[in-house]
Each structure stands twice: as C-alpha cells, then as structure tokens.
C-alpha cells in the first residue's frame, strides 16, 4: 500500500529525459527532491524548479545521502547500445560499479528503498511476445548486460541487507511532459529522429529493413508515454516489502511498426517525411511488445496515454519549443 506521506528522495540522473519527468511528478506529489547529475548527457534546465541540484556522478552519492532520505530513484547510466559494443568498459564502470557505490552509500546511511531504471534490453532476442518478466534474460549487448548485472546486484542487496527495491524494465519511452522531453545527443530513438525530419533538420528517416515478418515488413515496438512511465515510478517507491526485489515491465502492450510511426508523424505535424529503406541492423528483433500485467497487479499501475497520435503530438510540441528556444539564443 502506498504511503501518502511526503518523502525526501534522491533522483540520480534527474537532469536527463526520464529522470526529469519523474522528478517533476515527485515534486507535484509533494515530495522533497534532490537531483544528482553530472550533466554529461542531461541538461541543467531539465532539473525541475523546486528540486535541489547537486552536480556530480552517481559515485558521489555518499556525499549527498544521509539518514534523512527515504528513497532513491536511480536513472544515472550510460545508455547507448552501439557505444556499449565499442566501449563496454564505460558501461561496466558507470552502470555497474557506479550502482555498487550507490548501494553502499544507501546501506551506510540506512536508506532502504530503491527504484531502478532498467530496460527491455535485458531480454535480448525474445522467444515469444508479449514479453513477461519470467522470460529468459539473455542480453545481446553490453548495455543490456550491465543493466542485468545491476538487477542481480540489487537482488543480492535485498536478500542480504533488507533493501526494498523495484526494477522497472522500460520498452520504448516516448512523448514529453510540459517542458521536459527527449533531446539526446546523438539521438538514436525513432520518434525524435522522425520529428527532426519533419522539422527540416534531417533530409530523410532511414527505415532499417522492410522485409520483417510483420504486417508492413518493418519492426514493431511497444511505445510508452513518459508521463505514464513516471507515474509507475511513484507507485513503485512503496510497493516492495523489505528484502524484496520486484521486477516489472513497463509498456503499453500495443505494438506500432516503424512505418506506422512515420505515418503518424506525417499526420500529426502536417509535414512530409521522406524515408529511405536501408539494410537491417544486426540484432534488431522483428517484434518487441511488453506484458505489463505484473506492474498492473503489484503497482496498481494503468497506462492512460496509449494512443500513438497523442504520444507523438506531445513529443512534437516539445521538439518545436526546443527548436524555438535554441533559435532564439
């Protein structure tokens, strides 16, 4: 059962895309928020007004945490799949060793609640869809492997030291929440890339493979609105018992193909979006769709923004606002 009392929480990586939206939701719910972020991929203006900000890495958590904190929501991580293949050492250092330092700081200060930002990349190539938490976790790249390693680490911490923890395995996060949206550099996610074409910032969108065993031949993915995702994090803080590590998928349960996303962007923006078919990328499964039944059962979570048009429309509004802000500098 959720505890309605305000909490003091540390949000690592709270200047990034998902972390900033979650921090905003926490503040709106009346919680006290400290954001810890080194701004290597996040943005100072992504820290919501009302949050305390400490510039630093997750390894610096011991300098921030004390006995007055109730929980940690952990988003700080390196998250580029391609980069992880070329520089795996960065992912073991930042994601795994960094989280170990965080868990040590939490244990030393008696902070016993953790919500961890995990990923569907822990599953690798799925054997069936929709994917459940009981399916084999066989990651196909160092990024997914590093997140799975952290999940194992958290389980050990829960069993040995009474941590109450939830790992939330995201599928494709999209959309925006007011002033907080997606602006990775480099950008690798489909919806913002297609929006850049609509803005005239790219000539065309590359469709990697149009011969998959799907209705239109392109890959199918499960897109979840970032605000729905944020609401799951707030529910997750109080969900586990001490000594429990709960793992939940987060997705909307619907799959949309690459071509459906492109066509939705054309419809929402009113702009042409040229596309170029390119060869398949290695390791791209034909279909990735989540079963989020455990999150619904254990967290009481229900995604409410499942329409692709609405997801794209919110992302488009943010992209336009961001382009205007950058153009006025």
Quote the tokens at residue 269. 């923006």
CA-CA-CA-CA dihedral for 279, 281, 284, 287, to nearest 10? -20
Edge-to-edge strands, sheet with 245-250: 52-55, 32-37, 8-12, 71-74, 113-119, 164-170, 245-250
Dump the DSSP string for 6-27: --EEEEETTTSHHHHHHHHHHH
- For the purposes of burial, counting CB atoms within 10 Å of the CB of 192, is it exposed (0-12), middle (13-18) or buried (19 or more)? buried
Quickly list H helices, 110-225: 142-161, 190-198
Residue whose entry in the numeric block shows the structure tokens 């200047």:
15
CB 140 within 8 A of CB 149: no
Residues 6+ apart with CB under 8 A from 103: 114, 153, 154, 157, 163
136 burial level (CB within 10 Å; 0-12, 13-18, 19+): exposed
β-pair partners for 173 = 224
Choosing from 17, 69, 91, 143, the catalytic residue is 143
Which of the 8 DSSP states describes residue 128?
S
- Reply yes or no on whether 170 is catalytic: no
Catalytic residue annotation: 143
């Amino acid at each position: 059962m959720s505890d309605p009392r305000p909490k003091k929480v540390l949000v690592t990586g709270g200047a990034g895309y998902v972390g900033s939206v979650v921090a905003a939701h926490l503040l709106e719910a009346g919680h006290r928020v400290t954001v810890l972020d080194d701004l290597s991929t996040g943005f100072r203006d992504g820290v919501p007004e009302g949050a305390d900000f400490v510039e630093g890495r997750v390894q610096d958590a011991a300098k921030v945490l004390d006995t007055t904190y109730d929980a940690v929501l952990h988003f700080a991580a390196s998250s580029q799949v391609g980069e992880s293949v070329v520089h795996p050492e960065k992912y073991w250092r930042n994601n795994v060793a960094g989280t170990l330092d965080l868990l040590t700081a939490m244990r030393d200060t008696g902070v016993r609640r953790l919500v961890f930002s995990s990923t569907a990349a822990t599953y690798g190539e799925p054997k069936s869809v929709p994917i459940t938490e009981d399916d084999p976790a066989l990651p196909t790249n160092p990024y997914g492997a590093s997140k799975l390693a952290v999940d194992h680490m958290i389980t050990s911490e829960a069993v040995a030291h009474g941590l109450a923890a939830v790992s939330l395995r995201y599928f494709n996060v999209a959309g925006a929440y007011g002033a907080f949206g997606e602006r990775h550099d480099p950008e690798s996610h489909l919806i913002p890339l297609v929006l850049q074409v609509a803005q005239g910032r790219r000539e065309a969108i590359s469709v990697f493979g149009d011969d998959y065993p799907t209705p239109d031949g392109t890959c199918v993915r499960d897109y979840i609105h970032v605000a729905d995702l944020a609401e799951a994090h707030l529910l997750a803080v109080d969900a586990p018992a001490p000594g429990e590590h709960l793992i939940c998928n987060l997705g909307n349960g619907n799959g949309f193909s690459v071509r459906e996303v492109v066509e939705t962007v054309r419809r929402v923006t009113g702009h042409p979006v040229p596309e170029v078919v390119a060869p398949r990328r290695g390791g791209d499964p034909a279909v990735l769709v989540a079963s989020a039944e455990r999150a619904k059962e254990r967290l009481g979570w229900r995604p409410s923004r499942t329409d692709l048009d609405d997801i794209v429309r919110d992302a488009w509004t943010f992209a336009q606002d961001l382009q205007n802000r950058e153009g006025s500098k």
